[in-house]
Chain A
Amino acid sequence: MHNSYIDLVANFGIGGAHPGGFSLTQSILEDENIQPRESVLDIGCGTGQTAAFLAQRFKCQVTAVDNHSVMLKKARKRFESSDSSILVIEGDAQSLNLMDNSFDLIIAESVISFTNISKTLNELSRVLKSGGRMILIEMTAEQSLPLEVQNKVCSLYGINEILNEQEWKSKLQQAGFSQIEIIDTPSGLIQTDITDINQSENINMDLYDVWEEHNHFITQNHDYIGFRAFRCQLL
């Protein structure tokens, strides 16, 4: 499905394009005690900044999946220039062409919100090993959203439902996850410096408009929508 917000991130090639940015990613992963023999799935890898970090820093076995061709192209390019081997797969988080019980750890950075949430959580639960853990950083409703905000989120980001913290927890439980904890993160929608960028040539001016519209939306609605980082385990 066409999504101009994802096109924006893909064409500008912005790494760390999730709440908290790459610094949050690093601090969470440093606490995770990731071992070289472990297999890690980066679902919705984008241009591959997190996957490259995982492979380089922890020497673990990384699989990076995305469904956007521009993202995948830029991710592959990034991995080429590093000496770590990362398996790159084009795929849909809602229906993965991966074996059951394949991964020790899954990381999803602002990815699941852009899909059918229950479908994706069930799929991630299927490919995660029993006892495996999952980290997600996702858009979260801070209060009930007025209809016009809901409609705007839908048209701007192609997102159909925004869960609150409790709804995330119960969806995770329904998909078989337990020991669900909230990772402490800086509150608020803080801007991060764009340092990791791989811009496509000839970016359509429309995408600059999408960026402006997105900025405007964030300024207007930060009381309604925030984010949470969750850590959970499969029974």
Chain B
Amino acid sequence: MSQANFYDLCRRYHGRNVRITCRDGRVYRGEITRVTRDMVWIRPFDGLGGYGLGFGGFGFGGFGIGIALGAITGIVLASAFFW
């Protein structure tokens, strides 16, 4: 999926809780707070953004964590009901 597709998806899921998987295997779960052409920001809802490391030591003011759209391999809703 292209960066443009991920951009569209982030716009679609703006304000919703998502699960984002990155190329390096990190998984982030949180609410999408801001989307630009190159980045998406999420406010993690389970501590430091899933089992992503390296964000310790400071709080999440404003938009939360910024993730480059080019680093993303998957975006899905974090919770859902399925038949």
Contacts and interface: CB of A to CB of B under 8 A. Distances in A.
Given A194-B77, A202-B1, A208-B9, A14 B21 contact: no
A193 B12 CA distance: 19
Given A194-B19, A208-B12, A19 B76 contact: no
B81 A203 contact: no
Interface in B1-46: 1, 5, 8-9, 12, 19, 21
A113 B82 CA distance: 13
Interface string A195-233: 001010111010010011001001000000001000000
Contacts, number: 56
Interface residues of B, number: 17
A192 interface: yes
B81 A194 contact: no
B80 interface: yes
B58 interface: no
Contacts of A203: 1, 74
Nearest to B83: A110
A227 B5 CA distance: 35
Q: Could you say which interface size class chain A belongs to?
A: 20 to 34
A199 B5 contact: no
A189 B76 contact: no
Contact of B83 (A157, A193, A197): A157
A185 B19 CA distance: 27
A16 B79 CA distance: 12
Contact of B81 (A190, A208, A212): A190
B50 to A, nearest CB: 10
B29 to A, nearest CB: 8
Contact of A191 (B1, B76, B79, B83): B79
Interface in B38-83: 73-74, 76-83
A169 B5 CA distance: 46
A59 interface: no
Contacts of A197: 19, 76
A202 B1 CA distance: 5
Contact of A199 (B8, B21, B78, B80): B21
21 contacts: A5-B83, A9-B82, A12-B76, A14-B82, A17-B83, A19-B81, A19-B83, A110-B83, A139-B83, A192-B80, A193-B79, A194-B19, A199-B74, A199-B76, A202-B1, A203-B1, A203-B74, A205-B5, A211-B80, A215-B80, A227-B83
